[in-house]
Amino acid sequence: MNRFFLNKEINKDEQIIIEGDNFHHCIIVLKHKVGDNILVFDKKEDEFLCKIIGTKKESMMIQAQYLRPKKTINEPDINVYQSIPKGKTIENIIEKSVELGVKEFIPIISSRTIKKSREVKERWLEIVKTATKQCGRNDIMKIHEPLQYSDIFKKNNSGLKIIFYENSKNKINHEILEPNKNISLIIGPEGGFTNEEIILANNNGFIDMSLGNTVLKSNTALILGVGIIKLICSP
């Protein structure tokens, strides 16, 4: 069933007018009509079964009929500090972060970052919303303003702290992950981190860890790293 996000609180039996992109996607693209059911999740992370009860030229009306039970997910919150890669790779990384359940995404500017963007792009936020609807999450991954690398360590990074580093001798394992509720990950740019950046991370409580014997692209490192953590931590 098709899912849509509304940036408001929804109440059972409420009638809601839908306009703009959600209307266009639902009625024009997906060809829904009066009487069809859709799923709508709101900013409280509640998901409702809704019925389309009316349409106009540029809007439709739905009624929230049933509050679906929330999924219980017993997994750690994962926050990712991602060095901004060149080109559109960041868009793929953001999409996969949503699909993998990352809680917060913080772009960073390290010494080897090529594209030094200093603002959250509107396109990134649209990717988050689209990926959230597709993957079945009810919560919206938060994207922060880009940070300088050194500013990571001024944040309150509780729980387990990991920086992925191709020359590390450490491997992710069950014993390291099991007791931690929150995990912060730092993932580097195409050229990797400098020795000074690794030392700075180590001095601030981040454990350097390897993802294997080959050098990975940024998007591959994110998928593999977060995927391993999810697999180990899944009940």
- 144 has a pLDDT exceeding 80: yes
Q: At what angle do helices 122-135 and 89-99 cross, to 10 degrees?
A: 30
pLDDT recorded at residue 180 = 65
> Which of these, 205, 217, 222, 233, lies nearest to 80 by C-alpha position?
222
Q: What percent of the chain has pLDDT over 90?
A: 58
**Residues in contact with 83: Cβ distance below 8 Å, sequence separation at least 6, in sequence order:** 107, 108, 109, 110, 112, 113, 149, 187, 188, 189, 218
The whole-model pTM stands at 0.83
Q: Picking from 13-17, 116-120, 182-186, which range would have the lowest pLDDT averaged per residue?
A: 116-120
**pLDDT range class, residue 58, cuts 50, 70, 90:** very high
pLDDT digits (tens, 9 = 90+) for 82-133: 999 887 889 999 999 999 999 999 999 998 887 666 667 888 999 999 999 8
Q: Are 186 and 147 in contact (CB under 8 A)?
A: no
**pLDDT range class, residue 225, cuts 50, 70, 90:** very high
pLDDT (average), residues 10-28: 93
Place of tokens 């490192």: 221
pLDDT (average), residues 24-49: 92
Q: Which domains does the chain have, with CATH numbers?
A: 3-68 (2.40.240.20), 77-233 (3.40.1280.10)
